[in-house]
Chain A
């Protein structure tokens, strides 16, 4: 985008380096904005880094978030300020001035290489906050092993030197640091930055369950909080993933989870629902069972709030496949059994009966709160909060705070899980891109690089640099032996050692050596490529070498660190690892990173709220947008909605949106139109519409929407008394119905949800029922409302309305799926019979209105649109996103994004958030003039290919395709370099750059050469 003159700043301040802040930061930095990230901790990561695994897929949290952290840490346009807080904000949207106070770290990040020698030597141990007091850390520490930045920090409150007035004690870290990075004289400082917009993602606090002594946290050692249990489960946690009791390290068998600790409780704690505890308890019980088959988990709960995508199925799996017991009961007290450390739970069942049961260990599912100093925080940023100290937002502007230009993401906006936080992260990014569109690209920096040397056809001249990493490698691996041994390798012309290969001075040395020795390939033997490959690739590129002429031999993480004290064998292994890298390096070739142009326009399929929100946000970013709507008018499913749960007028909002869309100069609306076909790939699509006209665009948003289930049960369609919530909503808000005194409304929940063939929660129906029930009761308190439900799922801050309904006298009767209510016509009324589990008997009601809370379904076009774009649908027919946790609006195929009900059932505010997120993600692509294609892709040799279609059928990204000549071609732009095609191709027509078969075979041969003779069978 051309940067025209503007008063707006092209920088953005993000407060909070959790997953939401990082997502927003990367989206913005990748699309032409400079990002300042302020983080209170010593590392980015937030809460997610503390988790072991995530629901409902069981993916490792650290494996997912670590690459993001590395990306944030290395991004040229993300400036991380750790140990920092914002002290003041002045100015207005587009032009804020922010003061940041940075607390002294006592370690110079410019010099520190993160080797960790100081931490190893530090004699002062204190309980680890990160491990929730179950483990220990040093006074000089890294928050967790994968911390970003990896610069250690000194905790001045416990450091022996810094607590000594003369600063004479200890000073061991200073002595051991070969990089001279320790600075005991470091001071706090204040800096000032100018930004155009502010994103608040300060994260959460957890309810301190010690407030409730009857539950025994802090009193009985084998009662732990859920976050402590998370650390217990973690392979990098205090018990290395072994499930054991803190009191005696015994392996517990009977483990209890107690839900809603600190949540949904007006008296002792917080009134809201924390949204995630039902699911994390389910996850923890499954993972505990996976760690130790003997464990028998029991979850004590009030209501199972498995409202998210595939959550109900996850709970079913926990029950059926893992034998997790779920008991609807309140736990009133926990006592320790004298002598055993076991815990006796006193519980009250649904029928009111009290009982005692003994468990080996108890986990308290503690809820979320706004972070501790949320009040002061709100004052600093000048934003309004709600009564619970969460940032105030509205249903229709879910990521906007009360102050213009200040946005919010994550739990500061209300309790939510990781994907909803990530969605908000991209959503705020989209909003900021729209706000600051004219300032895009004004403050970002770009690296100038020398031209690349042409080394094609030259014999390999490999330079090998063997790193000591302080003493991390050299205390176990004999560096000199490695150097001497590698000198003999074919193709190696230069070998040397270096104290820290990654330190700035050594980087310069490496660059100089490349020139002096005329090297054309470089191998560095140091640490893992996952954190350092990109750094070294940049180094050799700065010296004029193609960055793919580099390989990293990991002799630290995969050698010295795991073979401590075995110097001889570790040295032998290190030599082998370097030889393998050299063998690969010999066969490396310079790779070109192709670029393709981008058509800066978007296609949005679906003209409902999701589609219109996405389109408006993209159009405000400056991109032309085409909305394709099947129907003759815009609006989608929201046409039948009148009020949101908080009472906002949906029809008014919808009318305003439609008018805004129609008036926007950048938006073209195609109603009564469908997509016939789309050709091309990310950045370069061409779509033919049913009208025959064609549109060129660079990104696609699938917002095809959903529809309501058409009920056939409970006399639906057969009795005039039986209507749906939507019909009732129309009567109440459209026709302004005032209920008569004594007029009785019975509502049945989960009609067409949470049962085969729709084994999922439709997420919106509980709130719809409560919204309508409240309206009835407010208009005539003498009208009667009974809601017959399975679990009331008013998650998050929606819980308030559940309470309001109860306070207004709405009756709630629970039913079980095995014992559904029975409905009969009885004259002018219907008779509803339902079993009451509290009273343990059947209840009968005659109702004037039986209102069915019908579930949601994906729109019928989801399947055909999905098939056309080759995006997968889940068994329920909803689009399957690229990654359930961290890529909730992306598809595996690049350039395609999803928003709204086509992805999963969700509320209006969530649809709006996801639509903003889709526009944020699409904005990242469209803001580029050119897209770079990775060098690590599969190369297709057409002359070997026989078009057997194996690749076409297995490629997850759709890069092989049948070309115009009827044979297979390969679109390298779509290729992600996974190499599945190469594995399956019977003609060996595919090879992945830098992972070619000859390179892998050379590594295999190097791994066994000079090994003892083959010992197969001997």
Chain B
């Protein structure tokens, strides 16, 4: 490409929320987006091996984590989900 390829300026992100104390006994509500082929299979395996983890994680299966859209994450946060785990 004969175009002058100057490194593009990085898009800016909003400032990060300041960390704050969590009340005692507070359990985060976590939503996981998992690729059908790997991470979802891993979640299955965790069950098969009877590995225990907190029940406040729910999994949404995607055909590939490439399918994940910004709005899925934002929607979940807007609805009060505390953490999102994308695995694929």
Contacts and interface: CB of A to CB of B under 8 A. Distances in A.
Contacts of B49: 145, 235-236, 240
Contacts of A670: none
B1 to A, nearest CB: 14
B50 to A, nearest CB: 6
B79 interface: yes
Given A978-B66, A983-B67, A1007 B47 contact: no
Interface stretch (A88-96, A560-568, A802-810, A863-871): A560-568
Interface in B44-76: 44-53, 55-56, 58-64, 66-69, 71-72, 75-76
A499 interface: no
A1007 B44 CA distance: 19
Interface string A540-562: 00000000000000101111111
Contact of B20 (A236, A570, A1017): A1017
Contacts of A1005: 75, 79
Contacts of A936: 63
A561 B47 contact: yes
B17 interface: yes
Interface stretch (A38-46, A308-316, A609-617, A994-1002): A994-1002
Given A561-B47, A983-B66, A1017 B17 contact: yes
Contacts of A60: 38
Given A528-B44, A1004-B72, A980 B59 contact: no
Given A561-B48, A580-B60, A66 B55 contact: no
Contacts of B58: 573, 576-577, 580, 1007
A528 B37 CA distance: 12
Contact of A572 (B40, B42, B55, B82): B55
Tell me which of B51, B55, B68, B71 has the highest count of chain A C-beta atoms within 10 A of its own C-beta. B55
A1001 B47 contact: no
Nearest to A936: B63
A992 B68 CA distance: 11
Contact of A995 (B31, B51, B62): B62
B64 A1004 contact: no
Contact of A1016 (B38, B46, B48, B82): B82
A945 B81 CA distance: 32
Nearest to B82: A1015
A569 interface: yes
Nearest to A1007: B58
Interface in A960-1018: 977-980, 982-983, 992, 995, 997, 1000-1001, 1003-1005, 1007-1008, 1011-1018
A997 B71 contact: yes
Given A557-B47, A1003-B60, A1008-B76, A982 B55 contact: no
Contacts of B36: 529-530
Tell me which of A145, A573, A997, A1004 has the highest count of chain B C-beta atoms within 10 A of its own C-beta. A1004
B41 A562 contact: no
A146 interface: yes
Nearest to A565: B52
Nearest to B59: A558
Contact of A1001 (B44, B56, B64, B71): B71
A530 B59 CA distance: 14
A833 B62 CA distance: 61
A63 interface: yes
Tell me which of B48, B53, B62 has the highest count of chain A C-beta atoms within 10 A of its own C-beta. B48
Contacts of B76: 1004, 1007-1008
B38 A992 contact: no
Contacts of B45: 62, 145-146, 235-236, 557
Contacts of A67: 37
Interface footprint category on B: 35 or more
A978 B63 contact: yes
Interface residues of A, number: 56
A1001 B75 contact: yes
Contacts of A559: 47, 55
B44 A554 contact: yes
Interface string B19-41: 01001001001010000111011
Given A236-B45, A530-B41, A1008-B81, A562 B60 contact: no
A936 B61 CA distance: 13
A1013 B81 CA distance: 10
B78 to A, nearest CB: 8
Interface string A762-799: 00000000000000000000000000000000000000
A1008 B29 contact: yes
Contact of B80 (A979, A980, A1008): A1008
Contacts of B20: 1017
B29 A982 contact: no
A576 to B, nearest CB: 6
Given A529-B61, A558-B47, A1016-B82, A980 B72 contact: no
B80 A1013 contact: yes
Contacts of B55: 559, 563, 566, 569-570, 572-573
A146 B49 CA distance: 11
A982 B67 contact: yes
Given A530-B41, A983-B69, A992 B47 contact: no
Nearest to A978: B64
Given A980-B64, A1001-B71, A1004-B72, A530 B51 contact: no
Contacts of B41: 63, 66, 530
B53 to A, nearest CB: 6
Contacts of A562: 46-47, 50-53
B20 to A, nearest CB: 7
B85 interface: no
B80 A1004 contact: no
A995 B75 contact: no
A979 B64 contact: yes
Contact of A977 (B47, B63, B77): B63
A1004 to B, nearest CB: 5
B37 A63 contact: yes
A1004 B44 contact: no
A562 B81 CA distance: 21
Contact of A1000 (B29, B59, B60): B60
Contacts of B23: 1018
Contacts of B69: 982-983, 997, 1000
A895 B38 CA distance: 25
A145 B48 contact: yes
A568 B28 CA distance: 18
A1014 B79 contact: yes
A580 B61 CA distance: 11
Contacts of A1018: 23
A956 to B, nearest CB: 9
Contacts of B44: 528, 530, 554, 557-558
Contacts of B80: 1008, 1011-1016
A919 to B, nearest CB: 28
Contacts of B56: 573
Given A528-B44, A979-B62, A982-B67, 11 more contacts: A145-B48, A240-B51, A558-B44, A564-B50, A573-B56, A577-B58, A978-B66, A983-B69, A997-B72, A1004-B72, A1007-B58
23 contacts: A63-B37, A63-B38, A63-B41, A236-B49, A558-B59, A559-B55, A562-B46, A564-B50, A566-B55, A576-B58, A978-B64, A992-B63, A992-B67, A995-B63, A995-B67, A997-B71, A997-B72, A1000-B69, A1003-B60, A1004-B31, A1004-B75, A1004-B76, A1015-B26
Interface of B: 17, 20, 23, 26, 29, 31, 36-38, 40-53, 55-56, 58-64, 66-69, 71-72, 75-82
Interface of A: 60, 62-63, 66-67, 145-146, 235-236, 240, 528-530, 554, 556-564, 566, 569-570, 572-573, 576-577, 580, 936, 977-980, 982-983, 992, 995, 997, 1000-1001, 1003-1005, 1007-1008, 1011-1018
Closest 10 CB pairs of A and B: A979-B67, A1014-B80, A557-B47, A980-B66, A561-B47, A978-B64, A145-B48, A557-B44, A1008-B79, A569-B55
